[in-house]
Amino acid sequence: MKKIITPLYFFAVMLLIHNSPVFAQTPNDSTQIKETVLNYLEGMETNNPQRIEKAMHPDLAKRTIEKNKEDIEYPENMTAASLIGYSKGFDFTLFYKADVDPKEPLKSEVIIYEISNGIATVKAVTNKFEFVDYIHLGKLNGEWKIINILWAMTGNTNKLMNKQ
């Protein structure tokens, strides 16, 4: 038994030593992750494609669950390029909750669930937008970038869902 445990222990220690310097979390990671998510949310709020582009990895996959005419659910996909394109002129106030004052400042809550080995999982909600984002980020070349977003509406009072 001792012959098996010693090599396993050695392997575990070597794995930790080998990977630690490459993916070590710095004290600034949480701050940088929050800044990245705020660039995305505030970029939509202010129609600022530069801020959104700064937050996104070019291979972004942003998805939500929709229903087709036959009432069958499917994932609706958006890319970084389409999100950045929309941000130039799309009226994001359509996603506002019905009781929101458009002049009120955007307040965002960015909840970091986990940071590990150069990846992070985050939940983001705001006082204005009637949706929630679950976000995956990766640290690439020293910068945190949003790689995946799975989002859902959190109510049905917004103008987008109540178009006449």
Q: What three-state secondary structure class fits 107?
A: coil
Residue pair 43/108 in contact (Cβ under 8 Å)? The answer is: no
Q: What is the model's pLDDT at position 9? A: 55
pLDDT digits 0-9 by tens, 85-94: 989 989 998 9
User: What CA–CA distance (Å, rounded) separates 133 from 126?
Assistant: 10
C-alpha–C-alpha distance, residues 60 and 147, integer Å:
5
First to last CA, the chain: 73
Chain centre distance of CA 19: 25
pLDDT, tens digit, 9 for 90 and up, residues 30-69 = 999 999 999 999 999 999 999 999 999 999 999 999 999 9
Task: Please tell me the predicted confidence (pLDDT) of residue 119.
Answer: 98
Q: What's the mean per-residue pLDDT of the chain?
A: 87
Are 49 and 40 contacting, i.e. CB atoms less than 8 angstroms apart? no
CA distance 21 to 140: 15
Distance of CA 87 to the CA centre of its chain: 16
Calculate ∠ Cα 20-114-109, nearest 5°: 140
Could you read off the pLDDT of 71-120 as tens digits, one per residue? Answer: 999 999 999 999 999 899 899 989 999 999 999 999 999 999 999 999 99
H helix intervals, 24-127: 29-45, 49-55, 80-87
Q: Which residue type, as a one-letter code, is found at position 16?
A: L
pTM of the shown model? 0.82
Name which CATH class applies to 25-153: alpha beta
